[in-house]
Amino acid sequence: MAGTCDYCHSRPKRVEAGKVHAYCSKTCASKAKTDDCQVCHAKPKAPGHQYCGKTCAGKANASGGAGQGKPFDTSTACLMCKKAPKQGQRNFCSKYCADSAESQAPLLLDVPSSHVTYKSVANQLHTSWKHTNRPSPRIKKIYKIVESHTLRAKYEAYKTKVEGKGHFEAKGMSPGNECRRWHGAHRGCKIGESGQTQLCSGQGCPICSIIRTSYDLQYSGNNFGWLRFGLGIYTSATSSKADDYICPNGPRPPVRALLLNTVVVGKGKTLTLDARTLTAPPAGFDSVLGEPKLLGSLNFDETVVYNNDAIRPSFLVIYDG
């Protein structure tokens, strides 16, 4: 049984494609979003307050939120509701907001320039820009990419599998040795510019395709053709190297886009010379780490994975080219 609506408590919850929603309709969902506690989203606000009680107010205060009379710190705001502080390293204040964003996936959420998440992504782009023949660019916009539950679940399952083999957390690393890596691809539309967040369906826009359904090994090499480490999905810790792959055979567009991804690196095999026949990482490894070295093949690093579920786009960064 689906039960009754969490807001009106009179009509049954809406069931769509086997998924039970919390509310009976969009009307009740909208009202709940306005009237419920800005931390737990499970109980109504106390009269004159943003939270249901002292427990949630305390959580908000601990995270820099708007508690008893304190101004709300927007630099840590939930990227969905923007009314409560995000929780820890997450981008949302609660499961409610995370689920709300996921239900609209694929979705681009604007990250304000004053936000801690914006500063983190921007810092990673600027500090990893190593090409001296062009200066670190001016960022115009950063968007959080929200993917569907199905895509996220497959990625999390793969990460859990790799962690189970490598036990990276016990070594002080992130689960599955998850890292943030850059990927450059052609943008065939104006996504990310002037508030444009509607993905296009053009065949010549890999950026929108990746945001919509993530990466697919069948397109490996389509953008550049040179596969130094075989048929894999290529990323780099160096933002300026990823920038080279946006339009490698054409003029530099005045406005460019990079994708910052989460990548399950796992146990990486370090290679310094080409291995173009690879279709999987060497036995016992989860990825290939291309490392620059004297007399080697690379000038800048590369991280290559060979499983579609080892990588997901996390942020879209728009900048002056």
The conformation of residue 236, written as its DSSP 8-state character, comes to B
Q: pLDDT tens digits, residue range 274-293?
A: 999 999 999 999 999 999 99
Q: Which of 46, 69, 103 is the last residue of a domain?
A: 103
Q: Are 231 and 315 found together in one domain?
A: yes
Q: Are 199 and 77 found together in one domain?
A: no
Using CA atoms, how far residue 120 sits from 104, 200, 284, in Å, is 25, 28, 33
pLDDT at 249: 74
Q: Are 89 and 159 found together in one domain?
A: no
Asked if the peptide bond before residue 106 counts as cis, ω within 30 degrees of 0, the response is: yes
Q: Which of 103, 133, 152 is the last residue of a domain?
A: 103
Q: Are 59 and 84 found together in one domain?
A: yes
Give domain status of residue 196, yes or no: yes
At 69, is the pLDDT very low, low, confident or very high (cuts 50, 70, 90)?
very low
- 92 Cβ contact list (under 8 Å, min separation 6): 78, 79, 80, 86, 98, 101
Report, as an integer, the average pLDDT of 220-226. Answer: 70
At 164, is the pLDDT very low, low, confident or very high (cuts 50, 70, 90)?
very high
Q: Are 136 and 57 found together in one domain?
A: no
Total tally of structural domains belonging to the chain: 2
Q: Are 93 and 141 found together in one domain?
A: no
Instruction: Please give the Cα distance from 10 to 5 (Å, whole number).
Output: 6
Q: Are 87 and 140 found together in one domain?
A: no
pLDDT at 313: 98
CB-based burial label for 250 (10 Å; 0-12, 13-18, 19+)? exposed
CB 224 within 8 A of CB 171: no
At 75, is the pLDDT very low, low, confident or very high (cuts 50, 70, 90)?
very high
Report, as an integer, the average pLDDT of 151-158. Answer: 98
At 33, is the pLDDT very low, low, confident or very high (cuts 50, 70, 90)?
low
Q: pLDDT tens digits, residue range 209-218?
A: 999 999 999 9
Q: Are 197 and 279 found together in one domain?
A: yes
pLDDT at 62 exceeding the cut of 70 = no
Q: Which residue range(s) make up the domain with 295?
A: 116-320
Give domain status of residue 29, yes or no: no
Q: 157-166, 217-226, 256-265: which has the minimum mean pLDDT?
A: 217-226
Using CA atoms, how far residue 223 sits from 60, 79, 217, 287, 293, in Å, is 45, 32, 12, 21, 25
Q: Are 50 and 127 found together in one domain?
A: no
At 45, is the pLDDT very low, low, confident or very high (cuts 50, 70, 90)?
confident
Give domain status of residue 10, yes or no: no
The mean predicted confidence, pLDDT, of the chain is 89
Comparing CA positions, the residue from 240, 2, 256, 12 lying closest to residue 128 is 240
> Looking at residue 161, which CATH number applies to its domain?
3.90.228.10
Q: Are 281 and 196 found together in one domain?
A: yes
Give domain status of residue 225, yes or no: yes
Which phi and psi (to 5°) does residue 315 adopt?
Answer: -140, 145
Q: What pairing do the DSSP bridges indicate for beta strands 268-271 and 287-290?
A: parallel
Q: 50-64, 217-231, 241-255: which has the minimum mean pLDDT?
A: 50-64
The conformation of residue 40, written as its DSSP 8-state character, comes to T
Q: Are 270 and 312 found together in one domain?
A: yes
Instruction: Assign residue 238 a region (left: φ > 0; alpha: ψ between -120 and 50; beta: otherwise).
Output: beta
Give domain status of residue 14, yes or no: no
Give domain status of residue 1, yes or no: no
At 1, is the pLDDT very low, low, confident or very high (cuts 50, 70, 90)?
very low
Percent of the chain with pLDDT over 70: 88
80-83, long-range: CB < 8 A, 24+ apart: 80/109, 81/33, 81/38, 83/38, 83/50
Using CA atoms, how far residue 66 sits from 37, 44, 60, in Å, is 12, 16, 6
At 32, is the pLDDT very low, low, confident or very high (cuts 50, 70, 90)?
low
Three-class SS state of 104 = coil
pLDDT at 310 exceeding the cut of 70 = yes
Give domain status of residue 19, yes or no: no
Q: Are 97 and 137 found together in one domain?
A: no
Report, as an integer, the average pLDDT of 152-166. Answer: 98
Instruction: Please give the Cα distance from 176 to 179 (Å, whole number).
Output: 9
pTM to 2 decimal places: 0.81
Q: Which residue has the higher pLDDT, 96 or 127?
A: 127
pLDDT at 293: 92
Give domain status of residue 55, yes or no: yes
Quote the tokens at residue 288: 């290939």
